[in-house]
Amino acid sequence: MTPTHSLQILISQQEIQERVSILAQQISQQYQNRPLTLLGVMTGSLFFLTDLMRHLTIPHQVGVIQASSYEGNSTEPGRLRTNLDYLPDLKNRSILLVDDILDTGQTLESIQKEISCLTQQDVAKAVLLWKKSRTQTQIKPDYLGFEIDDKFVVGYGLDYADDYRYLADIHTLQFSRRTP
């Protein structure tokens, strides 16, 4: 049997852009007199990070963190791997972690702990999507795009086996089996 995938739009490109604009306004007001560094959790946050940066009305710096707990075709998280080697100087800067999705919370919680050791400031979190029903930690986003049900989603940076990131909308990805 050959697996097939079907896509259904969950959140449109227009809805995403409207929400990112609102989040950027909130962040701009909150950090208007503080030095801000956005740290995008790669690779899923790439679209969200870029659009958020475009909408911010305050000066800010940007860095990226490589983090992954999904390998290949897996839809379940495994061991977290992070790379903080290329971060900018975070001393005396407000930090905003930017991630595509808050699922179990383990990745974001782990990264937040690592980053907190590098700065004297609080580390806030902005996530585009939150699967609140799956969260297993006490972590909560400070800035939230959308709360979603426990469905596998792709598009706007989110992937399945490194595919579908390029989609402008966020889609649910449904798996089915097709006979040969």
Report how far residue 73's alpha carbon sits from residue 51's, in angstroms, rounded to the nearest whole number: 27
C-alpha separations of 88 from 36, 45, 62, 118, 164 in Å: 12, 18, 8, 10, 30
Residue of 99, 100, 103, 159 marked active site: 103
Report how far residue 125's alpha carbon sits from residue 140's, in angstroms, rounded to the nearest whole number: 8
What is the bridge-based pairing of β-strands 123-130 and 94-102?
Answer: parallel
Report how far residue 18's alpha carbon sits from residue 93's, in angstroms, rounded to the nearest whole number: 28
103 is catalytic: yes
Report how far residue 135's alpha carbon sits from residue 63's, in angstroms, rounded to the nearest whole number: 26
| Closest CA relative to residue 79, chosen from 91, 87, 71 | 71
Residues annotated catalytic, as ranges: 103
